[in-house]
Amino acid sequence: MRIACPHCKDRTITRSSKRPAPVFYEVYAQCINPLCGWAGKIYVEFATTTAPSRSPAPEVSIPVDPASRQRLLDQLLPETT
C-alpha cells in the first residue's frame, strides 16, 4: 500500500508500528521529500469483513460488510425450491 504525504503528495516510508488492538495499527510515517520533511502517525483499522476467516480468533470482532451479509447468508442457508 502506497501512502502519499498529505502535504506535498510525495511518497512516505513507514518507520514502525504499534498494535494496541487486534484490529488496529498505529504506523509512524515520514515523507521522503527532503524539501517537505513531514512526519506523523497513521491509523489503520480493519473496518469490515467481506469474507469470514476459516480460523477465527475469539478476541477479534470485525463487523460484516452490509453488502456481503446477504451473500454470506445465501451461502449458509441455500434456498430450497
| CA separation for the pair 77, 7 (Å, rounded) | 49
Question: Which one among 8, 27, 42, 64 touches Zn ion, defined by CB under 5 A?
Answer: 8
User: Which residues are within 8 A (CB) of 63 and not within 5 positions of it... i.e. 6 or more apart?
Assistant: 47, 48, 49
Q: Which of residues 19-78 bind Zn ion (CB under 5 A)?
A: 31, 33, 36, 38
Q: Which of 22, 32, 25 is nearest to 62 (CA)?
A: 22
Nearer to Zn ion, 7 or 19 (CB): 7
Distance of CA 45 to the CA centre of its chain: 4
| Residue closer to Zn ion, measured from CB, 8 or 44 | 8
Give the nearer residue to Zn ion in terms of CB position, either 39 or 51.
39
Binding site for Zn ion (CB under 5 A): 5, 7-8, 10, 31, 33, 36, 38
